[in-house]
Amino acid sequence: MSNTDLQAASSLAQPVAEPAGTHAIFIVLTLNPGDDNTATVRDLCADFEALVRSANLRDEQRSVRAVIGFGADAWERLFGASRPARLHRLPEYKGAKHVAPSTPGDVFLHLRASRMDLCFELSRQIMGKLDGAVTAADETHGFRYFDARSMVGFVDGTENPVGAEAAEAAVTGDEDPDFAGGSYVIVQKYLHDMTAWERTPVEEQERIIGRHKFDDIELSDDEKPANAHNAVTNIEDENGNELKIVRVNMPFGNPGKGEFGTYFIGYARDPAITERMLHNMFIGDPIGNYDRLLDFSTAITGSLFFVPAATLLEELAEREA
């Protein structure tokens, strides 16, 4: 894609290539039966940007950002047969020891802001618009943890692309012209066995992640095992060029229930890149070389959505399936 085409596509996009922020709410919804419910979701498409603008009026920093996406199973029901070329149901990835499940999801909301009350208020307004049309499959509240650390104590998103490189990685272009300016997003919810993790010596934790814990410097090739997390998730094309996605993961937790986790969220121009990462993590390349982090982290959800360009979102509101 030329720089001009990239800028044009990026200007259409929902805010998929922006930093994670300090607070977020992630909501996965399933669409209830009935034509009235599909009409309700389309009405939300028309009102979505206005709801975000209204939430930002309450924030001097204007930090509120929101993304809405749709799953393969609901797309035709909502918007008709014409759909993004690479939109499909996320497959299950079953390795010899660990499994990445594929779980239902028709509508996805990613809300972020500098304060949780802003995320909460926007989610309340959106869910009020959807009242009765959908059922919540999962809702997770994420937060920034110290200096952007994951729940297991390592900095998350160190290798994320920024600026134009982030847009190139996350935003669709002329390869699917009817859906240019969109993005594919894969989300997974991981629960961590923090008791076992905290018993693991820091030096071994570093070998599992592939980075030094405190200064965030990557281990050398001689130090890093082949099954380190950042080794198995490093994806290259046939020419050896690294293929990137935009990760905006956030930790979450409920200490009273002993629940601690990471909400993985990866925006990509092509979902096949993220899916290769998942294959490498759970099955291995070569087979059996799975991600050692999975010995401490269990995936309990997994869904793929397409995030339409902001302009297309308004047009979808007028479509009849």
Enumerate the β-bridge partners of residue 211.
218
Q: 3-state secondary structure string, 137-197?
A: EEEEEEECCCCCECCCCCECCCCCCCHHHHHHHHCCCCCCHHHCCCEEEEEEEEEECHHHH
**Alpha carbon of 81 to those of 67, 75, 182, 319, 320: distances in Å?**
23, 8, 17, 11, 10
HSE-CB of 131 using CA atoms within 13 angstroms: 4
CB 22 within 8 A of CB 143: yes
Exactly one of 73, 156, 176, 221 is catalytic; name it.
Answer: 156
Distance CA 9, CA 307 (A): 13
**Does residue 138 have an active-site annotation?**
no
Task: Give the residue from 86, 276, 302 showing the smallest Cα distance to 186.
Answer: 302
CB 161 within 8 A of CB 244: yes
Provide DSSP, 69-123. Answer: EE-HHHHHHHH-S---TT--PPPPEE-SS-EE-----SEEEEEEESSHHHHHHHH
CB 272 within 8 A of CB 91: no
CB 269 within 8 A of CB 71: no
The 10 Å Cβ neighbour count of residue 33 is 8
For residue 257, the 8-state DSSP code is G
Active-site amino acid positions: 156
